[in-house]
Amino acid sequence: MNKFKDGIGLRLLRYVFGCYLIVTILVTSAQLISEYSRAKSNIFSQTYELEASFKDSLVSSMWSFDTPQLKVTLAGVTKIDIVAGIKIMTDKNKMLASSGDVVSADSQILSSTDLLAGIKKIELIQADSSKHQTLFEYKFPLKHRESNSDPLKLIGYGYIYTDANTIIDRVKFSFILIIINSLIKTAALWLLFLYFVNRFIAKPLAALANAAEALNPDKLETLCSSKELDNVVKAKHSDELYLLATNFDQMRIAVLDKMAVIESQKCQLEERVLARTKSLSEANDELRHLALHDALTTLPNRTLFKDRLEQFIKVGQRNNTRFIVASIDLSDFKSINDNYGHQIGDLILVEVARRLANAFRKTDTVARMGGDEFYALLSLERDDYSDVESLVQKFIKALEKPIHCDCENIPDILISANIGTAIYPLHGEDSAALIKNADMAMYHAKKSGIPHLLYSAKEDLRLRRQSQLAQDLNIAIQNNELFLVYQPILHLASNRITKIEVLVRWQHPTLGIISPVEFIPICERTGSIHQLTQWVFQQACTQCKPYCDVDESLSISINLSGRVFSQPQIPHILENICKRSNISPFNINLEVTETTAMEKPEQAIEIMHQLTGKGFTISIDDFGTGYSSLSYLVMLPVKELKIDKSFLLSLGVNSEKVIKAMIDLAHSLDLKVVGEGVETKALLDMLGVMGCDYAQGYYIAMPLSADQLDSFLYPQSVLKT
């Protein structure tokens, strides 16, 4: 039965039946419409007959003003089945009498359509009902003559109403007969067609389908002999089905002839597929290993390391266990590549990977991330983290033994590493945070010159602050966040302010005042120190120009960073700024630290000569904190030494001797001396006794804004003695 439901016979029957059903519906609809029209015409004819029958009686009652008789006549008319109502109107359009459902002045007419002569179709709602009603109205005149010789005189109109439902009631039985007739004919035709389609099309096709299904190469018994196919061939109806069955039989014979060849080729193909599958599986295993391991060291690579890290985190969350993420970076590995070549560098990496792997436990993982960077995952057995250092020391000891390269003219190479560690979940609960914090600890260990450092949140905050300041410095000048302050320098012999030192400050919009001790090193590291120096120099020249106009001997001291000072074009840059500001270079004193001057003395001497040749004077700042070669110091074209404030702030017997010795040394070299850090009168007096030329510090004046400096200098205050 299921096969029959899906068979071609039933599909064909559905198509034919569908077309026949459409035709039947159209024909039946035409019959119903015709029957309805016939019934309506019949009712309209009866309405005309009613007019002829009752017209004289109605005219007589109207002429004699016999209203009771008129009403009796109307009531009799309404008893006729086709009449829904009747009314009599005067020629003045005044209703005399009515009976049944009629159109009155209170009726709400929805639509009115003229059909035949005197007949209208009216759709309305009666005043005493909300029900929609359709009436057919027939209007006829009522005329009377007093004698045969007199003309007919119009005395009123009669209105006969027929309800549309009356027509439907009359044709209802006819409608039912027509529909039943159509259904009987349709069902009979459908059953006949079903029988013939099944007999002459569906059954032969089903037999042919069963024969085709029997042609199964996996079932040799049905392939060699198919009864279903034989039945179709033996029928010999000479139609399309017979030809199709014959071709099927020939195809079955051809399949049998080719079966041996196909089976032989199938066996060969299966053998080749098995061999190829094996080789592909081996290749996939190798590719998978290459995709997850470093090609040089065979250690897990970044991808596999991150996958295992995620697994460690899941185990830690489930079992509440702890583990270490270690970032390992080889120290000074670049110099090995530069001195011995990348081939030796690769040998070193392979040996380091082997030693690290041997130092690990089976539960741990070591991976190479690239270059000389390695990472490790180490399980912790105790919650107090006491074994972190002991685990790290295993790696450090594993690298202590020199590496022998088996190459001529290349000595054994010592290798060391900086290791940063982060602990889950103390230092991070996801892979990104753990790796970042381990890296940060490693970078800090490398910077500090120590082999191992555990991540510190405090150090993280410091580095984050530096990172934020480095970004904000890029727009600090454009946003006018930087400003200058000036600290007066007292000439001890005359007790006058003859010098002022320029100091830069940063008013950060969210962090407040930032000390130059914090942001100057960041500028030097990021390279923005060049832009900052030029801005400070330009602002100082512009703001101090009025003071230099009043006192041509006033000296403006400006600090130069070591990175800026080593710039060959700095003399030309500073000279151009002075020209734009219309200030003489003789009023500008450049302060260079002792370390900067002695780092590359030959270059420093050359640049200093260029600066002094343009009129600038030079001071050695923070003198005594670095290492100075007296032979080079004599050669430097400087005019002044500034003793670092640390000597005055930690004053003692030995410090006094050192200060006195530096003052005497400077004077022997015809150099002036400035003592920094003067915060008490006693220190000021001591410098005066020692013969120091200038003094600078909070006791003399705090760093002042430009407005405060103006009030401080004019008039000059005489310091208390």
Please report whether residue 228 resides in a domain: yes
The mean pLDDT of 449-475, rounded to a whole number, is: 82
Residue 109: which CATH number? 3.30.450
Give the model confidence (pLDDT) of 340-355 as tens digits: 888 888 888 888 888 8
- Alpha helices by DSSP H, listed for 293-332, are 302-319
Query: Which of 298-307, 600-609, 620-629 is least confident?
Result: 620-629
Instruction: Pick the most confident of 358-372, 401-415, 447-461, 604-618.
Output: 604-618
Give CA separation, 148 vs 59, 142, 144, 156, 274, in Å. 15, 16, 10, 20, 124
247 and 321 in a single domain? The answer is no
663 and 534 in a single domain? The answer is yes
Using only C-alpha atoms, the chain has a radius of gyration, in whole angstroms, of 58
Give the model confidence (pLDDT) of 568-597 as tens digits: 898 999 999 999 999 999 999 999 887 776
pLDDT at 63 over 50: yes
pLDDT at 373 over 80: yes
169 and 264 in a single domain? The answer is no
The mean pLDDT of 503-528, rounded to a whole number, is: 88
Neighbouring residues of 313: CB distance < 8 A, sequence distance ≥ 6: 424, 429, 430, 431
pLDDT recorded at residue 498: 93
288 and 306 in a single domain? The answer is no
169 and 26 in a single domain? The answer is yes
Single out the residue of 610, 596, 714, 618 nearest to residue 674, CA to CA: 618
The mean pLDDT of 498-506, rounded to a whole number, is: 94
pLDDT recorded at residue 490: 94
Please report whether residue 704 resides in a domain: no
pLDDT recorded at residue 500: 95
pLDDT recorded at residue 688: 92
The mean pLDDT of 499-524, rounded to a whole number, is: 90
For all residues of the chain together, what is the average pLDDT? 82
The mean pLDDT of 250-263, rounded to a whole number, is: 73
Query: Which of 190-199, 204-213, 222-231, 650-659 is least confident?
Result: 222-231
Length of the chain: 721
Residue 593: which CATH number? 3.20.20.450
83 and 222 in a single domain? The answer is no
Give the model confidence (pLDDT) of 675-713 as tens digits: 999 999 999 999 999 999 999 999 999 999 988 888 888
Q: Which domain holds residue 562?
A: 493-500+526-695
Specify the pTM: 0.51
Total domains, the chain: 4
pLDDT at 164 over 50: yes
The mean pLDDT of 144-162, rounded to a whole number, is: 81
The mean pLDDT of 212-227, rounded to a whole number, is: 61
The mean pLDDT of 379-390, rounded to a whole number, is: 74
Please report whether residue 719 resides in a domain: no
pLDDT at 555 over 90: yes
Please report whether residue 200 resides in a domain: no
The mean pLDDT of 312-325, rounded to a whole number, is: 90
pLDDT at 332 over 50: yes
330 and 439 in a single domain? The answer is yes
115 and 255 in a single domain? The answer is no
Please report whether residue 716 resides in a domain: no
272 and 318 in a single domain? The answer is no
pLDDT at 303 over 70: yes
615: left (phi over 0), alpha (psi -120 to 50) or beta: left
Among the candidates 246, 273, 292, a domain finishes at: 292
pLDDT at 717 over 50: no
DSSP 333-376: HHHHHHHH-HHHHHHHHHHHHHHHHHHS-TT-EEEEEETTEEEE
Sheet containing 108-114: which strands, arranged edge to edge? 95-100, 85-90, 153-163, 132-144, 119-125, 108-114
Please report whether residue 534 resides in a domain: yes
Q: Which residues is 368 bridged to in the sheet?
A: 374
Percentage of the chain exceeding pLDDT 70: 87
449 and 576 in a single domain? The answer is no
CB atoms within 10 A of CB 142: 22
H/E segment holding residue 417: strand 417-424
pLDDT recorded at residue 504: 93
Instruction: Pick the most confident of 137-146, 408-417, 687-696.
Output: 687-696
277 and 311 in a single domain? The answer is no
536 and 624 in a single domain? The answer is yes
Please report whether residue 711 resides in a domain: no
For tokens 């991330």, name the residue.
Answer: 369
